[in-house]
Amino acid sequence: MELKNTGIVYRNPKPHVWSRHAYFPSVVNLGGGELLCSFLMSEAFESADGRIFLARSLDHGATWQLQGRMRPEEAGAYSEMCRLMRSRDGTLVANVFRWDRHREGEGLANPQTLGFVETTPMLARSRDGGRTWSDAETFHPPIVGPEFELCSPIVELSDGRWLLPTATWKAWDGHNPTGMKAVAFVSRDAGRTWPEYVNVLDGVERGIIHFESKVAEMRPGLLVSIGWAYHEADARDHPNVYSISSDGGRSFGPIRQTDLSGQTATILSLGGDRLLCVYRRTDQPGLWAADVSLKNGRWRTLRQTSLWGADSLLTAGCDNNRVRQFNVLRFGAPCMVRLDSGDIFIAFWCVEDCVSVIRWFTVRMEDMPEQP
Protein backbone atom coordinates (compact mmCIF):
# COMPACT_ATOMS: atom_id res chain seq x y z
CA MET A 1 0.00 0.00 0.00
CA GLU A 2 1.58 3.26 -1.14
CA LEU A 3 0.40 6.58 0.30
CA LYS A 4 0.66 9.02 -2.62
CA ASN A 5 -0.88 12.41 -1.82
CA THR A 6 -2.99 14.28 0.68
CA GLY A 7 -4.88 17.56 0.76
CA ILE A 8 -8.02 19.37 1.88
CA VAL A 9 -11.51 19.20 0.37
CA TYR A 10 -12.80 22.02 2.60
CA ARG A 11 -11.50 24.11 5.46
CA ASN A 12 -13.09 27.24 6.89
CA PRO A 13 -11.09 30.03 5.21
CA LYS A 14 -11.75 32.51 8.05
CA PRO A 15 -12.01 30.64 11.36
CA HIS A 16 -11.14 33.87 13.19
CA VAL A 17 -14.30 35.47 11.77
CA TRP A 18 -16.92 32.72 11.90
CA SER A 19 -17.34 29.21 13.25
CA ARG A 20 -17.79 26.75 10.36
CA HIS A 21 -16.75 23.14 10.78
CA ALA A 22 -16.96 20.35 8.21
CA TYR A 23 -17.88 16.74 9.05
CA PHE A 24 -18.98 13.41 7.50
CA PRO A 25 -17.86 13.46 3.84
CA SER A 26 -19.27 11.28 1.06
CA VAL A 27 -17.53 11.13 -2.34
CA VAL A 28 -18.54 9.87 -5.79
CA ASN A 29 -16.46 9.59 -8.96
CA LEU A 30 -18.24 11.19 -11.92
CA GLY A 31 -15.60 10.10 -14.44
CA GLY A 32 -13.08 12.06 -16.47
CA GLY A 33 -11.31 13.27 -13.34
CA GLU A 34 -14.44 14.84 -11.80
CA LEU A 35 -15.33 14.05 -8.18
CA LEU A 36 -18.19 15.34 -6.02
CA CYS A 37 -18.07 15.46 -2.22
CA SER A 38 -20.96 16.13 0.14
CA PHE A 39 -20.37 17.03 3.78
CA LEU A 40 -22.08 18.51 6.81
CA MET A 41 -21.20 22.10 7.69
CA SER A 42 -22.18 23.51 11.07
CA GLU A 43 -21.06 25.74 13.93
CA ALA A 44 -20.35 22.72 16.14
CA PHE A 45 -20.37 18.94 15.96
CA GLU A 46 -24.07 18.60 16.82
CA SER A 47 -25.35 22.13 16.38
CA ALA A 48 -28.83 22.55 14.95
CA ASP A 49 -27.60 24.58 11.96
CA GLY A 50 -26.03 21.53 10.26
CA ARG A 51 -26.65 21.62 6.49
CA ILE A 52 -25.40 19.66 3.47
CA PHE A 53 -22.75 21.34 1.33
CA LEU A 54 -21.06 20.17 -1.86
CA ALA A 55 -17.52 20.56 -3.19
CA ARG A 56 -16.28 19.58 -6.65
CA SER A 57 -12.93 18.55 -8.09
CA LEU A 58 -12.06 18.48 -11.79
CA ASP A 59 -8.54 17.07 -11.38
CA HIS A 60 -9.01 13.65 -9.77
CA GLY A 61 -9.36 15.16 -6.28
CA ALA A 62 -6.13 17.19 -6.23
CA THR A 63 -7.94 20.54 -5.81
CA TRP A 64 -11.48 21.39 -4.75
CA GLN A 65 -13.98 24.21 -5.11
CA LEU A 66 -16.90 24.78 -2.76
CA GLN A 67 -20.13 24.51 -4.79
CA GLY A 68 -22.46 25.57 -1.97
CA ARG A 69 -25.62 24.20 -0.38
CA MET A 70 -27.10 21.04 -1.83
CA ARG A 71 -30.65 21.87 -0.73
CA PRO A 72 -32.47 25.18 -0.20
CA GLU A 73 -33.39 26.28 3.29
CA GLU A 74 -36.77 25.11 4.57
CA ALA A 75 -38.91 26.13 7.52
CA GLY A 76 -38.57 24.42 10.87
CA ALA A 77 -35.92 23.45 13.40
CA TYR A 78 -33.84 20.74 11.77
CA SER A 79 -30.37 19.60 10.81
CA GLU A 80 -29.54 17.14 8.06
CA MET A 81 -26.85 15.05 6.45
CA CYS A 82 -26.53 12.72 3.46
CA ARG A 83 -24.52 10.00 1.76
CA LEU A 84 -23.99 9.94 -2.02
CA MET A 85 -24.26 7.07 -4.51
CA ARG A 86 -23.79 7.09 -8.30
CA SER A 87 -26.07 4.55 -9.95
CA ARG A 88 -25.20 2.66 -13.13
CA ASP A 89 -27.28 5.01 -15.28
CA GLY A 90 -25.26 7.99 -13.98
CA THR A 91 -27.92 9.35 -11.63
CA LEU A 92 -26.62 10.63 -8.29
CA VAL A 93 -28.72 9.58 -5.32
CA ALA A 94 -28.41 11.18 -1.88
CA ASN A 95 -29.99 9.38 1.04
CA VAL A 96 -30.77 12.40 3.21
CA PHE A 97 -31.60 12.05 6.89
CA ARG A 98 -33.31 15.04 8.48
CA TRP A 99 -33.21 15.37 12.27
CA ASP A 100 -35.80 17.20 14.36
CA ARG A 101 -34.03 19.87 16.45
CA HIS A 102 -36.88 21.39 18.41
CA ARG A 103 -35.16 20.57 21.74
CA GLU A 104 -33.20 23.77 22.25
CA GLY A 105 -29.77 23.22 23.75
CA GLU A 106 -29.73 19.45 23.13
CA GLY A 107 -27.59 17.40 20.77
CA LEU A 108 -28.63 14.50 18.57
CA ALA A 109 -28.65 11.85 21.31
CA ASN A 110 -29.97 11.71 24.87
CA PRO A 111 -27.15 11.00 27.38
CA GLN A 112 -29.62 9.48 29.86
CA THR A 113 -31.24 6.96 27.49
CA LEU A 114 -28.95 6.69 24.43
CA GLY A 115 -32.07 7.66 22.51
CA PHE A 116 -31.96 9.66 19.27
CA VAL A 117 -33.87 12.63 17.93
CA GLU A 118 -36.77 12.06 15.53
CA THR A 119 -35.37 11.15 12.09
CA THR A 120 -36.94 11.52 8.65
CA PRO A 121 -35.29 9.51 5.83
CA MET A 122 -35.47 11.01 2.33
CA LEU A 123 -33.97 10.60 -1.15
CA ALA A 124 -32.83 13.35 -3.52
CA ARG A 125 -31.59 12.77 -7.08
CA SER A 126 -29.44 14.61 -9.59
CA ARG A 127 -29.05 13.87 -13.29
CA ASP A 128 -26.49 16.57 -14.03
CA GLY A 129 -23.59 15.52 -11.84
CA GLY A 130 -24.87 17.13 -8.65
CA ARG A 131 -25.31 20.66 -9.99
CA THR A 132 -29.08 20.59 -9.45
CA TRP A 133 -31.16 18.26 -7.31
CA SER A 134 -34.75 17.09 -7.14
CA ASP A 135 -36.85 17.80 -4.10
CA ALA A 136 -36.07 15.30 -1.35
CA GLU A 137 -38.84 12.71 -1.12
CA THR A 138 -39.63 11.09 2.21
CA PHE A 139 -39.75 7.29 2.20
CA HIS A 140 -41.14 4.84 4.73
CA PRO A 141 -38.74 2.34 6.35
CA PRO A 142 -39.88 -1.32 6.38
CA ILE A 143 -39.14 -1.71 10.12
CA VAL A 144 -39.82 0.29 13.28
CA GLY A 145 -36.60 1.94 14.46
CA PRO A 146 -38.04 3.98 16.01
CA GLU A 147 -35.10 6.07 14.73
CA PHE A 148 -32.31 5.18 12.31
CA GLU A 149 -28.59 5.77 11.89
CA LEU A 150 -27.18 7.42 8.77
CA CYS A 151 -23.97 5.45 8.30
CA SER A 152 -23.67 4.42 4.65
CA PRO A 153 -24.53 5.35 1.09
CA ILE A 154 -26.92 3.14 -0.84
CA VAL A 155 -25.27 0.06 -2.35
CA GLU A 156 -26.42 -0.83 -5.87
CA LEU A 157 -26.06 -4.59 -6.33
CA SER A 158 -25.14 -6.37 -9.55
CA ASP A 159 -28.72 -7.69 -9.90
CA GLY A 160 -30.16 -4.16 -9.75
CA ARG A 161 -31.49 -4.18 -6.18
CA TRP A 162 -30.53 -1.34 -3.85
CA LEU A 163 -29.46 -1.89 -0.23
CA LEU A 164 -29.43 0.94 2.31
CA PRO A 165 -27.33 -0.13 5.33
CA THR A 166 -28.50 1.53 8.54
CA ALA A 167 -29.23 0.64 12.16
CA THR A 168 -32.28 0.86 14.35
CA TRP A 169 -31.96 3.31 17.22
CA LYS A 170 -33.87 4.04 20.43
CA ALA A 171 -36.34 6.90 20.57
CA TRP A 172 -35.34 9.97 22.57
CA ASP A 173 -37.15 8.69 25.66
CA GLY A 174 -35.45 5.27 25.39
CA HIS A 175 -38.40 3.49 23.75
CA ASN A 176 -36.81 0.53 21.97
CA PRO A 177 -39.28 -1.99 20.46
CA THR A 178 -36.85 -3.45 17.92
CA GLY A 179 -33.52 -3.40 19.71
CA MET A 180 -30.49 -1.61 18.30
CA LYS A 181 -29.15 -3.66 15.40
CA ALA A 182 -27.63 -3.19 11.95
CA VAL A 183 -30.08 -3.78 9.11
CA ALA A 184 -30.32 -2.96 5.42
CA PHE A 185 -33.43 -1.66 3.68
CA VAL A 186 -34.07 -3.28 0.29
CA SER A 187 -35.51 -1.61 -2.83
CA ARG A 188 -36.33 -3.31 -6.13
CA ASP A 189 -37.50 -0.14 -7.91
CA ALA A 190 -34.47 2.19 -7.69
CA GLY A 191 -35.41 3.63 -4.31
CA ARG A 192 -39.03 4.53 -4.96
CA THR A 193 -40.15 2.06 -2.28
CA TRP A 194 -38.34 0.12 0.44
CA PRO A 195 -40.73 -2.71 1.42
CA GLU A 196 -38.13 -5.17 2.76
CA TYR A 197 -35.20 -5.29 5.12
CA VAL A 198 -32.55 -7.82 6.10
CA ASN A 199 -30.77 -8.24 9.44
CA VAL A 200 -27.07 -7.62 8.88
CA LEU A 201 -25.53 -7.57 12.39
CA ASP A 202 -27.97 -8.46 15.16
CA GLY A 203 -26.44 -8.56 18.64
CA VAL A 204 -29.58 -7.59 20.57
CA GLU A 205 -29.78 -10.82 22.61
CA ARG A 206 -26.14 -10.43 23.68
CA GLY A 207 -26.48 -6.75 24.52
CA ILE A 208 -24.20 -5.71 21.65
CA ILE A 209 -25.00 -2.62 19.58
CA HIS A 210 -23.56 -2.47 16.07
CA PHE A 211 -22.93 1.08 14.89
CA GLU A 212 -21.69 2.36 11.52
CA SER A 213 -22.28 -0.74 9.44
CA LYS A 214 -21.12 -0.85 5.82
CA VAL A 215 -21.78 -3.42 3.09
CA ALA A 216 -19.63 -4.17 0.04
CA GLU A 217 -20.33 -6.51 -2.86
CA MET A 218 -17.21 -8.61 -3.46
CA ARG A 219 -18.69 -10.24 -6.58
CA PRO A 220 -22.22 -11.06 -7.76
CA GLY A 221 -23.98 -12.91 -4.96
CA LEU A 222 -21.22 -12.42 -2.34
CA LEU A 223 -21.45 -9.50 0.09
CA VAL A 224 -19.57 -8.63 3.27
CA SER A 225 -20.55 -6.28 6.08
CA ILE A 226 -18.49 -4.68 8.83
CA GLY A 227 -19.59 -2.98 12.04
CA TRP A 228 -18.41 -1.34 15.23
CA ALA A 229 -19.41 -3.52 18.23
CA TYR A 230 -20.33 -1.80 21.50
CA HIS A 231 -21.39 -3.67 24.66
CA GLU A 232 -23.94 -1.38 26.25
CA ALA A 233 -23.98 -2.87 29.78
CA ASP A 234 -20.18 -2.75 30.10
CA ALA A 235 -19.91 0.53 28.19
CA ARG A 236 -16.98 -0.70 26.14
CA ASP A 237 -16.13 -1.54 22.56
CA HIS A 238 -15.42 -5.05 21.30
CA PRO A 239 -13.29 -5.82 18.23
CA ASN A 240 -14.92 -4.98 14.91
CA VAL A 241 -17.21 -7.65 13.52
CA TYR A 242 -18.24 -8.80 10.06
CA SER A 243 -20.82 -11.05 8.42
CA ILE A 244 -21.07 -12.56 4.95
CA SER A 245 -23.98 -13.00 2.58
CA SER A 246 -23.70 -15.74 -0.02
CA ASP A 247 -27.17 -15.21 -1.47
CA GLY A 248 -26.86 -11.70 -2.83
CA GLY A 249 -27.81 -9.90 0.38
CA ARG A 250 -31.05 -11.74 1.04
CA SER A 251 -29.59 -12.98 4.33
CA PHE A 252 -26.34 -12.58 6.24
CA GLY A 253 -24.51 -15.33 8.06
CA PRO A 254 -23.24 -15.43 11.65
CA ILE A 255 -21.41 -12.50 13.20
CA ARG A 256 -17.65 -13.05 13.35
CA GLN A 257 -14.85 -11.02 14.92
CA THR A 258 -12.16 -9.32 12.90
CA ASP A 259 -8.69 -8.64 14.31
CA LEU A 260 -9.32 -4.88 14.18
CA SER A 261 -10.27 -2.59 17.07
CA GLY A 262 -11.91 0.55 15.81
CA GLN A 263 -14.90 2.65 14.88
CA THR A 264 -16.55 4.17 11.78
CA ALA A 265 -14.98 1.61 9.45
CA THR A 266 -15.61 1.64 5.71
CA ILE A 267 -14.77 -1.11 3.22
CA LEU A 268 -14.02 -1.32 -0.50
CA SER A 269 -13.66 -4.46 -2.63
CA LEU A 270 -10.26 -4.68 -4.33
CA GLY A 271 -11.27 -7.62 -6.51
CA GLY A 272 -10.96 -11.32 -5.82
CA ASP A 273 -10.90 -11.95 -2.08
CA ARG A 274 -9.17 -8.69 -1.12
CA LEU A 275 -10.75 -5.82 0.75
CA LEU A 276 -9.53 -2.42 1.90
CA CYS A 277 -10.80 -1.29 5.30
CA VAL A 278 -10.21 2.25 6.57
CA TYR A 279 -11.19 2.93 10.15
CA ARG A 280 -10.67 5.02 13.25
CA ARG A 281 -8.44 2.82 15.35
CA THR A 282 -9.00 2.63 19.12
CA ASP A 283 -6.09 0.47 20.31
CA GLN A 284 -3.66 2.95 18.69
CA PRO A 285 -4.18 6.58 17.73
CA GLY A 286 -5.23 7.67 14.28
CA LEU A 287 -6.93 6.73 11.05
CA TRP A 288 -5.63 3.44 9.62
CA ALA A 289 -5.97 1.46 6.41
CA ALA A 290 -6.03 -2.35 6.56
CA ASP A 291 -5.36 -4.63 3.58
CA VAL A 292 -7.60 -7.65 4.17
CA SER A 293 -8.00 -11.15 2.71
CA LEU A 294 -11.42 -12.79 2.89
CA LYS A 295 -10.35 -16.05 1.29
CA ASN A 296 -12.77 -18.84 2.25
CA GLY A 297 -14.80 -16.31 4.25
CA ARG A 298 -12.09 -15.84 6.87
CA TRP A 299 -11.00 -12.31 7.75
CA ARG A 300 -7.21 -11.97 7.69
CA THR A 301 -5.57 -8.58 8.02
CA LEU A 302 -2.45 -8.76 5.83
CA ARG A 303 -0.98 -5.42 6.85
CA GLN A 304 -1.97 -2.01 8.21
CA THR A 305 -0.86 1.53 7.39
CA SER A 306 -1.35 4.68 9.45
CA LEU A 307 -2.90 7.47 7.37
CA TRP A 308 -3.40 10.22 9.94
CA GLY A 309 -1.96 9.95 13.42
CA ALA A 310 -3.63 12.51 15.64
CA ASP A 311 -4.81 11.24 19.00
CA SER A 312 -8.34 11.74 20.27
CA LEU A 313 -9.98 11.98 23.63
CA LEU A 314 -12.07 8.92 22.88
CA THR A 315 -9.05 6.80 21.93
CA ALA A 316 -7.37 7.83 25.16
CA GLY A 317 -10.53 7.07 27.14
CA CYS A 318 -12.29 10.04 28.68
CA ASP A 319 -15.69 8.85 29.85
CA ASN A 320 -17.69 5.63 29.76
CA ASN A 321 -20.86 7.37 28.56
CA ARG A 322 -21.14 6.75 24.82
CA VAL A 323 -23.14 9.91 24.05
CA ARG A 324 -20.61 12.14 25.86
CA GLN A 325 -17.83 10.34 23.99
CA PHE A 326 -19.53 11.20 20.69
CA ASN A 327 -19.42 14.86 21.73
CA VAL A 328 -15.59 14.93 21.84
CA LEU A 329 -14.74 12.97 18.70
CA ARG A 330 -11.92 14.63 16.75
CA PHE A 331 -11.86 12.61 13.53
CA GLY A 332 -13.54 9.75 11.73
CA ALA A 333 -16.20 8.69 9.22
CA PRO A 334 -13.93 7.83 6.25
CA CYS A 335 -15.31 7.15 2.78
CA MET A 336 -13.59 5.69 -0.28
CA VAL A 337 -13.94 5.70 -4.06
CA ARG A 338 -11.78 4.27 -6.82
CA LEU A 339 -10.26 6.81 -9.20
CA ASP A 340 -9.97 6.41 -12.96
CA SER A 341 -6.26 5.61 -12.48
CA GLY A 342 -7.09 2.69 -10.20
CA ASP A 343 -5.81 4.55 -7.13
CA ILE A 344 -8.16 4.89 -4.16
CA PHE A 345 -9.38 8.25 -2.91
CA ILE A 346 -10.11 8.40 0.84
CA ALA A 347 -11.83 11.32 2.57
CA PHE A 348 -12.61 11.81 6.26
CA TRP A 349 -13.13 14.62 8.73
CA CYS A 350 -10.56 15.66 11.31
CA VAL A 351 -9.78 18.56 13.62
CA GLU A 352 -6.61 20.44 12.66
CA ASP A 353 -5.64 23.71 14.36
CA CYS A 354 -8.98 23.72 16.21
CA VAL A 355 -11.00 23.58 12.97
CA SER A 356 -12.78 20.48 11.66
CA VAL A 357 -11.82 19.97 8.00
CA ILE A 358 -12.41 17.41 5.27
CA ARG A 359 -9.02 15.86 4.46
CA TRP A 360 -8.24 13.44 1.64
CA PHE A 361 -5.59 10.85 0.80
CA THR A 362 -4.87 8.83 -2.30
CA VAL A 363 -3.34 5.38 -1.96
CA ARG A 364 -2.14 2.81 -4.46
CA MET A 365 -2.62 -0.87 -3.70
CA GLU A 366 0.07 -3.29 -4.80
CA ASP A 367 -0.65 -6.77 -6.09
CA MET A 368 -0.40 -9.39 -3.35
CA PRO A 369 0.56 -13.05 -3.72
CA GLU A 370 -2.27 -15.55 -3.44
CA GLN A 371 -2.98 -16.37 0.20
CA PRO A 372 -3.09 -20.02 1.29
Q: Phi, psi at residue 327, to the nearest 5°?
A: -65, -25
The residues near 69 (Cβ < 8 Å, ≥ 6 apart) are 51, 52, 53, 54
Q: 3 pLDDT band (50/70/90 cuts)?
A: confident
- The span from the CA of 77 to the CA of 103, in Å, is 9
DSSP 294-336: -GGG--EEEEEEEEE----HHHH---S-HHHHHHT--EEEEEE
The model's confidence at residue 317, banded by pLDDT at 50, 70 and 90, is very low
Closest to 93 (Cα-Cα) out of 101, 84, 102: 84
pLDDT for the residue 263: 93
Q: What's the rounded mean pLDDT across residues 144-168?
A: 97
pLDDT tens-place string over residues 198-223: 999 999 999 999 999 999 999 999 99
Tell me the C-alpha distance between 80 and 69, whole Å. Answer: 12
Indicate the SS3 state at residue 35. Answer: strand
Percent of the chain with pLDDT over 70: 93
In order of their start, the domains of the chain are 2-364 (2.120.10.10)
Confidence band of 368 (pLDDT split at 50, 70, 90): low
Collect all residues with Cβ–Cβ distance below 8 Å to 357 and sequence separation of at least 6. Answer: 8, 9, 10, 11, 12, 22, 349, 350, 351
Q: What is the pLDDT of residue 86?
A: 98
Least confidently predicted of 43-52, 152-161, 263-272, 303-312: 303-312
pLDDT band at residue 327 under the 50/70/90 scheme: very low
Q: What confidence score (pLDDT) does residue 224 get?
A: 98
Q: Residue type at 307?
A: L
Which residues on adjacent β-strands are paired with residue 126?
92
pTM for the whole structure: 0.93
Give me the mean pLDDT over the 48-62 stretch. Answer: 98
| Average pLDDT score over the chain | 92
Closest Cα to residue 227, out of 297, 151, 144? Answer: 151
pLDDT tens figures, 75-126: 999 999 999 999 999 999 999 999 999 999 999 999 999 999 999 999 999 9
Per the CB < 8 A criterion, the answer to whether 205 and 297 are in contact is no
DSSP state of 365: P
Range 15-43 average pLDDT: 97
The CA–CA distances, whole Å, from 309 to 142, 268, 331 equal: 40, 22, 10
For residue 318, pLDDT beyond 50: no
Q: Among 203, 190, 232, 209, which Cα is nearest to 151's?
A: 209
